[in-house]
Chain A
């Protein structure tokens, strides 16, 4: 019987029971796509998402802790978003026009303008705010993704919100 058992050369069994990757895509894909859209804008969000998921799939067999999949994915997405930013830094437009739209009537336009402001925040604050409000991560999860402490994660979100409030006030005056 032993001789009949085919060796599984190219594949890996996981003792801790990682879910099939298809499950990971269904469970976390939509939130990752939202996160990408918030960080790099709608136009480039799909590229950011695809880069994130392909990188995740390449490394998936080496994941040791199934309970950390979610924060691991957002760490990858955050890195991919930074790459996308660097690639397009030269093309970034000043936000004056967008702030002018911020006082407009359409709530969707106003919300988009606010997310543009989030993208203009210092990187740590912008990432923390996006992880909190677009990806619904807890502060403990944000701390894991950003490799910092939970109080520091809270502080990044709070400082980000304060700065956004100033921007909003500024746009209204």
Chain B
């Protein structure tokens, strides 16, 4: 019967080829490298395994622009990058990200006490950027108080605003906001969780 045959044709067409995750990964990686080679990727990112968990490392052509800690949702971080920098965000290789991964590995191994990486500060501005630049000057293994970084940034009374700047640090670990403690030495809060902050401080004290 013609009617039934039409249904058969439809049934065959509706069948799904078995998904092949390995092939998909390969195709996606090739797209990333071709897009990168053509200069079509404004923000390239990779995920990197660290002792804190998997972190996201994003870079523009200028330099490292965002480090996402394991507590942060990847979709939200990528949406923020799309909204604030460019929608051309792609998981793609980039020299500065590769170099950041290498230096982070050394840091977590206790073999590196400062980072030498190009940074793109565009996700922070004004007083917040001043606070983070002051924070970037705190040496490895040392700590400062929120009041001290507020003073360094030029507004000694803006302790609370300094706290906000540190809480929204787009480049944690590399810009060491974990080295800023409450007056009196209480550990204070951290975007990646107080436990991660304590862990970074321990690492720097024991290395």
- Interface residues, chain A, CB within 8 Å of chain B? 1, 4-6, 8, 10-14, 17-23, 25, 29-30, 33-34, 37, 46, 49-50, 53-54, 57-58, 60-61, 107, 110-111, 114-115, 118, 129, 132-134, 161-162, 164-165, 168-169
Partner of B31, one of A25, A133, A161: A25
* Beta-carbon nearest neighbor of A33 in chain B: B27
Task: Tell me how many residues of B have a C-beta within 8 Å of chain A.
Answer: 45
> CA A162 – CA B79 in complex, angstroms?
45
Partner of A12, one of B15, B19, B27, B87: B87
Does B83 contact A17, Cβ atoms closer than 8 Å?
Answer: yes
Q: Does B90 contact A (CB under 8 A)?
A: yes
Q: When A11-B85, A18-B82, A46-B30 are in contact, do A23 and B75 touch as well, CB less than 8 Å?
A: yes
Within 8 A of A (CB), among B67-102: 75, 78-79, 81-91
Q: When A1-B125, A17-B83, A110-B12 are in contact, do A22 and B89 touch as well, CB less than 8 Å?
A: yes
| B81 partner residues in chain A, CB cutoff 8 A | 20
> How many Cβ-Cβ contacts under 8 Å join chain A to chain B?
126
Partner of B87, one of A6, A18, A114: A18
> CA A133 – CA B17 in complex, angstroms?
11
Partner of B28, one of A14, A19, A29, A60: A29
> CA A120 – CA B69 in complex, angstroms?
52
| B105 partner residues in chain A, CB cutoff 8 A | none
Q: When A20-B78, A50-B31, A133-B13 are in contact, do A161 and B87 touch as well, CB less than 8 Å?
A: no
Stretch at the interface among B33-41, B111-119, B165-173, B194-202: B33-41
Of A8, A57, A118, the most chain B CB neighbours within 10 A belong to: A57
Q: When A8-B122, A20-B89 are in contact, do A111 and B9 touch as well, CB less than 8 Å?
A: no
> CA A6 – CA B30 in complex, angstroms?
33
Does A11 contact B42, Cβ atoms closer than 8 Å?
Answer: yes
Over the window 32-56 of chain B, the binary record of Cβ atoms lying under 8 Å from chain A Cβ atoms (1 yes, 0 no) is: 0011001010110100000000000
Q: Does B2 contact A (CB under 8 A)?
A: yes
Would you give the shortest CB distance from B4 to chain A, in whole angstroms? 10
> CA A14 – CA B87 in complex, angstroms?
8
- Interface residues, chain B, CB within 8 Å of chain A? 2, 5-6, 8-10, 12-15, 17, 19, 24, 27-28, 30-31, 34-35, 38, 40, 42-43, 45, 61, 75, 78-79, 81-91, 121-122, 125-127, 129
Does A14 contact B83, Cβ atoms closer than 8 Å?
Answer: yes
Does A60 contact B88, Cβ atoms closer than 8 Å?
Answer: yes
Does B89 contact A21, Cβ atoms closer than 8 Å?
Answer: yes
Partner of B40, one of A46, A54, A118: A54
Q: When A21-B87, A133-B13 are in contact, do A169 and B129 touch as well, CB less than 8 Å?
A: no
> CA A116 – CA B43 in complex, angstroms?
40
Would you give the shortest CB distance from A28 to chain B, in whole angstroms? 12
Does B27 contact A10, Cβ atoms closer than 8 Å?
Answer: no
Q: Nearest 10 CB-CB pairs, A to B?
A: A11-B86, A20-B89, A20-B82, A133-B13, A20-B78, A1-B126, A18-B87, A165-B5, A57-B40, A164-B9
> CA A132 – CA B121 in complex, angstroms?
46
Does B31 contact A111, Cβ atoms closer than 8 Å?
Answer: no
Would you give the shortest CB distance from A17 to chain B, in whole angstroms? 7
Would you give the shortest CB distance from B160 to chain A, in whole angstroms? 18
Q: When A6-B122, A30-B24 are in contact, do A162 and B6 touch as well, CB less than 8 Å?
A: yes
